C-alpha cells in the first residue's frame, strides 16, 4: 500500500479526517493544557478516542482480544456508523470465527462506561498461529477506517507490529505485559456485576467440593501466578508496588506440546478431554509404589506422586498405558510443578493469597482443584489458592483500559 502511517493514522484523506476530530497537530488541548499524543492512542478521555476500541494480548499460544461495543450507534456520523456496524455485525453476530476463534459469551460485561460511552465488553480468543487470518479480517472489515491503532501487549505486539502497520494501516500501541495484567485484574474484579474471584472448598471431595466466592476488594499483598505458554509469578503489594519473583518455562504450552507428542491430540480442549478420562497412577510412581504405603515420618500419603512418569521405565507399563492416562499424567506433572514453585514463592515472600490466572486454567477444573488442594495441604492451611472467572483475558483488558479516563474510580 502506498500510504504511510503518521502517529498511527494512515496518511490519506479519510485518516486525516479522523485525526482532526481528535487532535490538533501532535496533541490535543484539554482544559487549556496541551496533551501530546507521541504516537499513542487517546488515553485522556476528555476527548473521546476514535472507535472501535480493542485491547489485545498476543501470547505465544493464544491471542486474547477484548472489544468494547457501544450501546448507541446513533451518536456517530454516517461514515463512522457504517464501519462500526460492519465490525459489530461480524464480531457480535458470531460466537465462533473460522475453525479456532471463539467469543466467550458467558464472560461478557454489560453496562460498562469507557470515555463517556456506555456499552458492553466482549472477550474473544484465537490461536496466535492464526494471526494472519485475523489480519485479513481486519483488512476486510476496515478496522483502520476509524481507529488510530490497537492497544496491545505480549510478545506478539512486537512480533506482529510491522505487519499490522503495513497490511492493515494500524499501529500496535505496545504496553507492558505485567502492568496490563494487574490493571485488568483489578478492573474486572471491581466492575464485574457477578463475583469474579473464587476458591474451592473441599477440592478433593467429589461430593462436597464447592466453588465459593471470595471478596477481593482489598487483596494486598497477593501472589499472581500467570500460567500461559510459560509461567510468571508476581508479588503484588499495591497497585504500583509489584515485582516478578519467579517463573518457569514449564507451562500451558508445555502441557499441550507434550500431549500432542504423546497422544496425537491437536487442541488444548482435546488434551483436557483426554486427561479427564485418564488415570495418572498408571503412569506416575506413587509413594506407596516405593514404600508399600504412607511415608508417615514426613507426612507423605501413599497416594502422593513420588516420581512423575516413573512407571514408564517399565516396558510392560508402557505397553499398557493409554492416551488418556498419558494426558492425565502430563497435566498432573505440570500442575504439581507450578503449584510447588508457587508455594515456595509464597513462603519466601510471606504472602498467604495466591491468585492463579491464565488460559491454562480454561476448561481445566482438574488443575484448579489440584492447585487448591496442594496449596492448602502443603501449607497446613496457611495458603489460599484463588481463581478468577476471566482467566486469561486480564492482559487484554488492561490494554483496553488505556482508553479510560486517568481519574477513573478504579484508580482511587
Catalytic residues: 177
Per the DSSP assignment, residues forming a β-bridge with 120 are 69
- Answer whether 67's CB lies under 8 Å from 124's CB: yes
Beta strands in 296-395 (DSSP E): 305-307, 353-357, 384-388
Whose CA is closest to 388, among 373, 368, 374, 404?
368
CA distance 119 to 84: 13
Q: Which grid coordinates belong to 65?
A: 482480544
CB 61 within 8 Å of CB 256: yes
CA dihedral 390, 394, 399, 400 (to 10 degrees): 20
Q: Around 71, how many Cα atoms within 13 Å sit in the side-chain half-sphere?
A: 11
Cα separation values, 310 from 32, 226, 265, 279, 370, Å: 70, 28, 23, 14, 20
Neighbours of 46 (CB within 10 A): 15
Q: Cα-flanking dihedrals φ and ψ of residue 216, to 5°? A: -110, 20
Q: Is residue 41 within 8 Å of 403, Cβ to Cβ?
A: yes
Contacts of 396 (CB under 8 A, 6+ apart): 55, 56, 57, 64, 65, 66, 123, 153, 180, 184
Q: What is the CA radius of gyration of the chain?
A: 24
What order do you get walking across the sheet with 353-357 strand by strand? Answer: 210-213, 197-201, 384-388, 353-357, 222-227, 231-236, 242-248
Amino acid at each position: 500500500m502506498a500510504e504511510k502511517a503518521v502517529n498511527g493514522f494512515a496518511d490519506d484523506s479519510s485518516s486525516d479526517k479522523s485525526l482532526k476530530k481528535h487532535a490538533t497537530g501532535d496533541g490535543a488541548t484539554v482544559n487549556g493544557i496541551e496533551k501530546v499524543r507521541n504516537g499513542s492512542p487517546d488515553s485522556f478521555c476528555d476527548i473521546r478516542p476514535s472507535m472501535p476500541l480493542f485491547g489485545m494480548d498476543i501470547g505465544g499460544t493464544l491471542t486474547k482480544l477484548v472489544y468494547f461495543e457501544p450501546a448507541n450507534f446513533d451518536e456517530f456520523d454516517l461514515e463512522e456508523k457504517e464501519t462500526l456496524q460492519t465490525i459489530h455485525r461480524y464480531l457480535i453476530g458470531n460466537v465462533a470465527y473460522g475453525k479456532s476463534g471463539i467469543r466467550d459469551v458467558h464472560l461478557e460485561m454489560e453496562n460498562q462506561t469507557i470515555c463517556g460511552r456506555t456499552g458492553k465488553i466482549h472477550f474473544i480468543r484465537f490461536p496466535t498461529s492464526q494471526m494472519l487470518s485475523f489480519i485479513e479480517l481486519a483488512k476486510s472489515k476496515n478496522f483502520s477506517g476509524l481507529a488510530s491503532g490497537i492497544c496491545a501487549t505480549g510478545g506478539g505486539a512486537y512480533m506482529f507490529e510491522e505487519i499490522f502497520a503495513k497490511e492493515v494501516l494500524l499501529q500496535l500501541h505496545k504496553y507492558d505485559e505485567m502492568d496490563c495484567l494487574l490493571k485488568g485484574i483489578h478492573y474486572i474484579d471491581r466492575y464485574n456485576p457477578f463475583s469474579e474471584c473464587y476458591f474451592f472448598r473441599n477440592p478433593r471431595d467429589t461430593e462436597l467440593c464447592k466453588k465459593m466466592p471470595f471478596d477481593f476488594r482489598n487483596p494486598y499483598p497477593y501472589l499472581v501466578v500467570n500460567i500461559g505458554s510459560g509461567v510468571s509469578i508476581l508479588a503484588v503489594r499495591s497497585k504500583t508496588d509489584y515485582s516478578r519473583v519467579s517463573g518457569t518455562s514449564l507451562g500451558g504450552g508445555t502441557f499441550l506440546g507434550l500431549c500432542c507428542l504423546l497422544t496425537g491430540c491437536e487442541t488444548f480442549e482435546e488434551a483436557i478431554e483426554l486427561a479427564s478420562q485418564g488415570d495418572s497412577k498408571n503412569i506416575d510412581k506413587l509413594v506407596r509404589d516405593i514404600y508399600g504405603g504412607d511415608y508417615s515420618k514426613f507426612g507423605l500419603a501413599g497416594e502422593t506422586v513420588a516420581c512423575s512418569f516413573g512407571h514408564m521405565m517399565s516396558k510392560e507399563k508402557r505397553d499398557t498405558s493409554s492416551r488418556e492416562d498419558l494426558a492425565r499424567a502430563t497435566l498432573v506433572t505440570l500442575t504439581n510443578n507450578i503449584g510447588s514453585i508457587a508455594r515456595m514463592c509464597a513462603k519466601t515472600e510471606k504472602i498467604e493469597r495466591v491468585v492463579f490466572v491464565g488460559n491454562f486454567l480454561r476448561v481445566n477444573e482438574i488443575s484448579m482443584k489440584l492447585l487448591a488442594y496442594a496449596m492448602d495441604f502443603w501449607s497446613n492451611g496457611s495458603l489460599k489458592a484463588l481463581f478468577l472467572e476471566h482467566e486469561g483475558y486480564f492482559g487484554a483488558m488492561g490494554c483496553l483500559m488505556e482508553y479510560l479516563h486517568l481519574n477513573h474510580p478504579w484508580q482511587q
